[in-house]
A and B are shown apart, each in its own frame.
Chain A
Amino acid sequence: MSDRYDRAVTIYSPDGHLLQVEYAQEAVRRGSTAVGLRTNDCIVVGVEKRSSNPLFDERSMRKISMLDNHVVMTFAGLTADARVLISRAQAEAQSYRLNFERPVTVEYITRFIAQMKQNYTQSNGRRPFGLSCLMGGFDGDGKPHLYQTEPSGIYYEWTGSSTGRAGTTAREYMEKHAGDTVDSMDEQTAVKHVVRTLMSGTEMSEPQLDVAVLRFNQPLRMVECQALDDHMRAIRGEIEAEVKTRLVPNKL
């Protein structure tokens, strides 16, 4: 079926699918896992950094970037596509400041990105962005928001979400463990949940991840490697303890 209907993005297949868009979603599903969490006063985002080569300089891989002083973004999917999208969003954020003398709201910049993605699903000679983005930030009133966009141009708001290779398992973990308590969570706990969510999706021996915390009117803070290591060690301990308690009743 797909041998004719996936040549141009603007062509539907007979059963109503836009196959190029679905392929873009597949690119996201194969991308590295990205997680975002919103508590009542901060945004925590984390992303998995896969590097197979020991000679690779990990600092050159930046998957968490700022769109403006108050909005942070991470993504799953094609990194090259992300660079273009981030660049456009940053320009829009400054342009908005120039025109309206106020910073963008998180929803506005999300809508801008979603709109751009949608455009690329409906115009000829283009290819949809192979990207799912998580945008977290603060509005003028100091309220944190976390949004997500898809390659098709859909966007949602979340208290916590994840996307990429282990996106579904990661989200299930969050629903189970961080669902009701998110609002009252402190920063340490939130970071730990993000690390654990990322760990739940992948086998990880050393911290192959970036985690960042954004607070109202403060610059973005990357969580240090040492702190991540400590969190991971603590989490491994927790997991072992949980496994034990689960095993004991079975043995009885």
Chain B
Amino acid sequence: METLLGIKGPDFVMLAADTTHARSIIVMKEDQNKIHKASDNLLISTTGESGDTEQFTEFISKNIALYKMRNGYDLSPRAAAHFTRKNLADYLRSRTPYQGLHVCRWVCFRIHQRYDETDGAELAFIDYLANAKSLNHAGHGYGAMFCSSIYDRYWHPNITQDEAYDIFKKCIVEIQKRLVVNLKNFNVSVVDKNGVRNLEPISAQSLTDYNASS
């Protein structure tokens, strides 16, 4: 039910995640941040069993910090995504799998480093079976089903941050119109060469005057 969205641009990655925390048929809180800052240039958004998502994200973040401490440089985005996938896959096959860590999505940004100049923005999509795929735009959850066509229509390789933010607005309008579940508010974060930044959340309220067709 929870929804995560992500867009990769030429030099940034932007993420949006709903802030609803529901248990059974009850909404417990509406300000749950699901986008975690894993390091200076790395964001992870996760949905799933709430304790598991928290535990898993923290574990991955701390290991990435440890890697940096030991080696003096950061894990590359691809390596970081693979590390996450491997951990998820191993837990899936262990006696103590992360129960219903449904989805986990990884995003990283890396400005060139001397050992790997090809790394730029990276958006990795990892699902609960530990499939990993590097994508230009992605989504998890029921809400994401309404977004594929919007991404297809509006995403282009030289997309700017303003355009990406606008795509999220269009997606959220659609989600709030068509999805039976009420997802009122979405947090938005971006990671670029200046690091991680939180943008203005997109909510039903902020969208009242928004014209999606413009």
Name the interface residues of A64-88: CB closer than 8 Å to any CB of B.
66-69, 87
**Interface of B: prevailing SS:** helix
A66 and B59 within 8 A (CB): no
Q: In whole angstroms, how far apart are the Cα atoms of A67 and B68 in the complex?
A: 11
What chain A residues lie within 8 Å of B62 (beta carbons)?
94-95, 97-98
What chain A residues lie within 8 Å of B70 (beta carbons)?
87, 90
B69 and A66 within 8 A (CB): yes
Judge if A225 is at the interface, Cβ distance under 8 Å. no
Shortest C-beta distance, B65 to chain A (Å), equals 6
What chain B residues lie within 8 Å of A67 (beta carbons)?
69
B58 and A94 within 8 A (CB): no
A98 and B58 within 8 A (CB): yes
Judge if B66 is at the interface, Cβ distance under 8 Å. yes
B58 to A, closest residue via Cβ: A98
Judge if B32 is at the interface, Cβ distance under 8 Å. no
Considering only CB atoms and an 8 Å cut-off, how many residues of chain B contact the other chain? 8
The one of B58, B59, B69 that contacts A90, using a Cβ cutoff of 8 Å: B69
Judge if B63 is at the interface, Cβ distance under 8 Å. yes
Judge if A91 is at the interface, Cβ distance under 8 Å. yes
Q: In whole angstroms, how far apart are the Cα atoms of A42 and B65 in the complex?
A: 23
Q: In whole angstroms, how far apart are the Cα atoms of A226 and B32 in the complex?
A: 51
Name the interface residues of A86-140: CB closer than 8 Å to any CB of B.
87, 90-91, 93-95, 97-98
* Cβ contacts B149-165/A at 8 Å (1 or 0 each): 00000000000000000
What chain A residues lie within 8 Å of B66 (beta carbons)?
90-91, 94
Q: In whole angstroms, how far apart are the Cα atoms of A224 and B126 in the complex?
A: 44
Q: In whole angstroms, how far apart are the Cα atoms of A91 and B66 in the complex?
A: 6
B69 and A68 within 8 A (CB): yes
Shortest C-beta distance, B195 to chain A (Å), equals 14
Q: In whole angstroms, how far apart are the Cα atoms of A66 and B71 in the complex?
A: 10
Q: In whole angstroms, how far apart are the Cα atoms of A69 and B62 in the complex?
A: 12
* Cβ contacts B70-84/A at 8 Å (1 or 0 each): 100000000000000
Shortest C-beta distance, A68 to chain B (Å), equals 7
Name the interface residues of A160-182: CB closer than 8 Å to any CB of B.
none
What chain B residues lie within 8 Å of A94 (beta carbons)?
62-63, 65-66, 69
Q: In whole angstroms, how far apart are the Cα atoms of A67 and B70 in the complex?
A: 8
Shortest C-beta distance, A71 to chain B (Å), equals 10
Q: In whole angstroms, how far apart are the Cα atoms of A159 and B86 in the complex?
A: 45
What chain A residues lie within 8 Å of B63 (beta carbons)?
94
User: Which interface residue of B58, B59, B69, B70 has the most chain A CB atoms within 10 A?
Assistant: B69
* Cβ contacts A47-68/B at 8 Å (1 or 0 each): 0000000000000000000111
Name the interface residues of B27-85: CB closer than 8 Å to any CB of A.
58-59, 62-63, 65-66, 69-70
B65 to A, closest residue via Cβ: A94
A92 to B, closest residue via Cβ: B66
A96 to B, closest residue via Cβ: B62
B59 and A98 within 8 A (CB): yes
Shortest C-beta distance, A236 to chain B (Å), equals 33
A101 to B, closest residue via Cβ: B58
Shortest C-beta distance, B193 to chain A (Å), equals 18
What chain B residues lie within 8 Å of A97 (beta carbons)?
62, 65
B70 to A, closest residue via Cβ: A90
B55 to A, closest residue via Cβ: A98
User: Which interface residue of B58, B59, B63, B66 has the most chain A CB atoms within 10 A?
Assistant: B66
Q: In whole angstroms, how far apart are the Cα atoms of A128 and B65 in the complex?
A: 29
Q: In whole angstroms, how far apart are the Cα atoms of A66 and B58 in the complex?
A: 21
Shortest C-beta distance, A134 to chain B (Å), equals 18
Given contacts A87-B70, A90-B69, A94-B62, 8 further A-B contacts (CB under 8 A): A67-B69, A90-B66, A90-B70, A91-B66, A93-B69, A94-B69, A95-B62, A97-B62
Give me the interface of B with A, judged by CB distance under 8 Å. Answer: 58-59, 62-63, 65-66, 69-70
| 21 intermolecular pairs with C-beta atoms under 8 Å apart | A66-B69, A67-B69, A68-B69, A69-B69, A87-B70, A90-B66, A90-B69, A90-B70, A91-B66, A93-B69, A94-B62, A94-B63, A94-B65, A94-B66, A94-B69, A95-B62, A97-B62, A97-B65, A98-B58, A98-B59, A98-B62
**3 nearest CB pairs, A to B:** A94-B66, A94-B62, A98-B62
